[in-house]
Structure 1
Amino acid sequence: MRLTLPSTPDSATSCNCSLCRRIGGPWAYFEWGTVKIEAAPDATESYVQGDRTLRTIRCRHCGCVTHWEPIPAEAGTRHGVHLGNFDPKLIASVRVRRFDGADTWRFLDE
């Protein structure tokens, strides 16, 4: 599986919600359809959380979560990419903001 970002993100988000706490981050966000995803049809597996607003995708080969897709996936919606799958220099080059997705739904570093 290969993901190609449309640009270097300006910032990324580290979230503490129940899902992100387990799979980590940080996450960079792009408009749906702008991230190039190359994978064989059976190379990934998805998980849909309780509120059914996003589908988390993982690689069947290594098990790493690669990204999440909005439900429904439509132009203009946000698409999250797990930056932990890229060169560490990329993460070091962007501001990583802390988000309280577990409680207040606010950034903790404002």
Structure 2
Amino acid sequence: MHQGSCHCGAVKLTLPSTPEVATSCNCSLCRRIGGPWVYFEFGTVRIEGHPENTTGYVQGDKTLRTIRCRTCGCVTHWEPIDAAPGARHGVHLGNFDPELIAAVKVRRFDGANSWKFFDELPE
């Protein structure tokens, strides 16, 4: 079990398992808030302090809500607006121990243009 939190500790996250791969995205939002992101089935990440200590931001195609702490402003996760069965949940790995971050392979994703991983693009 891996536990993390926003900077002030008002929002705490517990991952259901150890992530093996994370994503660093360059879309207009992720390039501003950073990453990397790890993904789990929606509802499997335990989040304490949400929604009472968080606020959300919805942009673009309005399919997900990016969540941040109301106090310190750290982005903690994103969640689907329509949480259909099998929906994904993104967790900002920057809120966890640096040793966990260092142990996870990070793939770079071109969310700004091609919607493909850079290692899949022709050179």
TM-score w.r.t. length of structure 2: 0.86
Selected match of 1:102 from 106, 109, 112: 112
User: Identity across aligned pairs (percent)?
Assistant: 76
Deviation at 1:74, TM superposition (A): 2.8
Selected match of 1:33 from 16, 25, 43: 43
Q: Partner letter of residue 65 of structure 2?
A: R
Q: Distance in 2 between matches of 1:19 and 1:99?
A: 13
TM-score w.r.t. length of structure 1: 0.95
Gaps of 5+ in 2: 1-10
Show structure 1 runs of 4+ deviating over 4 A: none
1:42 is aligned to: 52
Q: 1:93 to 1:48 in 2, by over 3 A?
A: same
Q: How many residues align?
A: 110
Q: Distance in 2 between matches of 1:79 and 1:72?
A: 11
Deviation at 1:75, TM superposition (A): 2.8
Question: What does the per-residue CA deviation read over 1:81-106, in whole Å, with 9 as the maximum and x for residues that have no partner?
Answer: 00001111111111000000000111
Gaps of 5+ in 1: none
2:81 is aligned to: 71
Give yes or no for the alignment of 1:23 onto 2:42: no
Selected match of 1:56 from 48, 63, 66: 66
CA RMSD of aligned residues (A): 1.0
1:3 is aligned to: 13
